[in-house]
């Protein structure tokens, strides 16, 4: 009897042990490899958060514009619209450099920002639309040229020395300008929330496409391919800041060695956000965002992957240090880039920043691809 009574007890214990052992091994099996962890955490902790912040900032801007247009003489409300626009620009600056996913589909980036505007199209097309007589709705804005959409158009409407003043919003003509301001901000709100939803697990679930790689994944057959796109994001982000946001408009031709010996021929109207003189802040936010992507916002990012899997702690630190030095150098520039562009006494900090960007870019281009075991571009480099 005893023995028969013991049997089920033992079996129950063994059974429980088996369950525990099984669930432990299932846990171990579920724990993703480091490369997948990088994708999951970079996507969730950094990229989706940035899209969310951008979407919320656009929503706030839309609300501020709507509220202002109920009483267009209210200077305080006008200033609120301007400050929420700045927040939205910073939100955009955190996702602007991402080189994959929903942002790359159907010209989404152009709907948010039209830059550089070499032919002054924004002013021309916005004014042309204002002269038309049909009702301005977000749909009308969507059907119109991308030039009248997004943050660039709003910058013109809010900051242009002639067109973006409080006075222009008063009177009969002002009403229509306000309608456009509200419609464009509404449209931007739709675009930015669309991007955020496309990424979310409970929306378009692009996070799954990005982080669950494999044979059946239409974009990423393995983790390395997806990591390649993260690498591109870092490299092309720093390249864009260096070449297009700094060197071209400010006529920096030293290639980062600090020597200049020719009369400056700056093109300040090619600065990003020149009308609002917000170029520097956007650049600093870009750099923070790129650093944030590299670190998966303090979660398990490329920095940890380099350390744990690739035994490249020194490189990981060097890249983080490079970002910090760039951010410090940009922050040390006094005044807006637009206002100091042609002042020789302000040149040195600009060149110092450019030189830091060159150093960081060299590490990202030369050392990081090798360390990650990902090519920066086989045909891109030397395709013939």
Partner 1 sequence: MGMQRRHFLLGSSAILFAPRLLLAAPSGLGDNSNKRGFSPVLSAASNANGHRIGVWRNDGWQYSQPINHRGHDSAYHRRRQELIFFSRRPGRELYIVDATTGSALLTIQSEEGYHYYGHGCLSKDGHYLYTTENHIDNDGAGSIGIYDCENNYRCVGHIDCEGIGPHELALMPDAKTIVIAIGGIKTLPATGRQTLNPETLAPALHYLDIESRKIVEKVAAPHYQLSLRHLDISPDGSVLVGAQFQGQLPSDKPLVFYHRRGQTLQTLDTGELPLHFKRDYIASVSIDDRGKWGVTSCPRDNLVCLWDLQSLSLSQVWNLRDCAGAIYDQAYEQFILSNGDGQLLALVPGNKTLKPLAYSAGTHWDNHLTLCV
User: What is the binding site for partner 1 (CB under 8 A)?
Assistant: 99-100, 104-105, 107, 109-110, 118, 145-147, 215-218, 221-222, 224-225, 228-229, 232, 236, 239-240, 375, 377-380, 382-384
Considering beta carbons, is residue 131 or 216 the nearer one to partner 1? Answer: 216
Min dist CB 12 to partner 1, Å, is 40
Question: 341 in helix, strand or coil?
Answer: coil
Considering beta carbons, is residue 261 or 379 the nearer one to partner 1? Answer: 379
Considering beta carbons, is residue 116 or 349 the nearer one to partner 1? Answer: 116
Min dist CB 222 to partner 1, Å, is 6
In the block, tokens 């030293």 appear at 254
Min dist CB 168 to partner 1, Å, is 26
Min dist CB 215 to partner 1, Å, is 7
Min dist CB 378 to partner 1, Å, is 3
Considering beta carbons, is residue 4 or 218 the nearer one to partner 1? Answer: 218
Min dist CB 371 to partner 1, Å, is 15
Give the burial string for 290-325 (b: 16+ CB within 10 Å, else e): bbbbbbbbeebbbbbbbeeebebeebbebbeebbeb
Q: Is the dihedral of CA 197, 147, 341, 159 positive or negative?
A: negative
Considering beta carbons, is residue 171 or 221 the nearer one to partner 1? Answer: 221
Can you tell me the distance from the alpha carbon of 293 to that of 295, in angstroms, rounded to the nearest whole number?
A: 5
**In terms of C-beta density within 10 A (0-12 exposed, 13-18 middle, 19 or more buried), how is residue 350 classed?**
buried
Whether 330 contacts 280, CB under 8 Å: yes
Q: What angle separates helix 347-362 from helix 223-239, to the nearest 10 degrees?
A: 160
Give the burial string for 230-241 (b: 16+ CB within 10 Å, else e): bbbbbbebbbbb
Considering beta carbons, is residue 270 or 320 the nearer one to partner 1? Answer: 270
Distances 329 to 59, 66, 140, 152 between C-alpha atoms, Å: 32, 38, 43, 26
Min dist CB 343 to partner 1, Å, is 25
The token duo for 223 is 């983790």
Considering beta carbons, is residue 87 or 251 the nearer one to partner 1? Answer: 251
């Amino acid at each position: 009897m005893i023995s028969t009574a013991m049997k089920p007890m033992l079996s129950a214990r063994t059974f429980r042990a088996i369950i525990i052992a099984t669930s432990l091994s299932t846990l171990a099996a579920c724990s993703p490899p480091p490369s997948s962890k990088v994708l999951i955490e970079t996507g969730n902790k950094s990229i989706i958060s940035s899209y969310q912040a951008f979407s919320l900032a656009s929503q706030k801007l839309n609300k501020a514009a709507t509220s202002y247009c109920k009483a267009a003489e209210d200077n305080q409300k006008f200033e609120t619209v301007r400050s929420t626009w700045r927040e939205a620009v910073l939100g955009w600056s955190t996702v602007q450099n991402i080189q994959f996913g929903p942002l790359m589909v159907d010209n989404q980036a152009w709907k948010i920002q039209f830059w550089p505007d070499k032919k002054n199209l924004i002013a021309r097309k916005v004014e042309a639309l204002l002269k038309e007589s049909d009702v301005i709705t977000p749909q009308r804005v969507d059907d119109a040229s991308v030039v009248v959409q997004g943050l660039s158009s709003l910058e013109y409407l809010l900051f242009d020395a002639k067109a973006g003043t409080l006075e222009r919003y008063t009177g009969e003509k002002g009403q229509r300008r306000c309608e456009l301001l509200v419609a464009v901000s509404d449209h931007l709100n739709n675009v930015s929330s669309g991007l955020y939803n496309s990424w979310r697990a409970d929306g378009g679930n692009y996070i799954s496409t990005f982080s669950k790689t494999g044979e059946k994944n239409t974009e990423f057959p393995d983790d390395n391919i997806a990591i390649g796109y993260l690498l591109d994001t870092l490299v092309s982000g720093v390249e864009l800041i260096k070449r297009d946001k700094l060197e071209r408009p400010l006529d920096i031709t030293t290639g980062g060695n600090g020597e200049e010996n020719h009369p400056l021929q700056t093109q300040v109207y090619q600065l990003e956000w020149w009308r609002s003189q917000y170029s520097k802040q956007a650049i600093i936010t870009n750099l923070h965002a790129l650093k944030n992507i590299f670190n998966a916002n303090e979660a398990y990012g490329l920095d940890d992957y380099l350390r744990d899997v690739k035994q490249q702690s020194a490189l990981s630190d060097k890249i983080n240090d490079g970002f910090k030095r760039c951010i410090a150098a940009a922050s040390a520039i006094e005044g807006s880039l637009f206002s100091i562009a042609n002042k020789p006494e302000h040149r040195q900090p600009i060149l110092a920043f450019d030189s830091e960007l060159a150093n960081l870019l060299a590490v990202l281009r030369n050392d990081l691809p090798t360390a990650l075991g990902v090519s920066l571009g086989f045909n891109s480099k030397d395709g013939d």
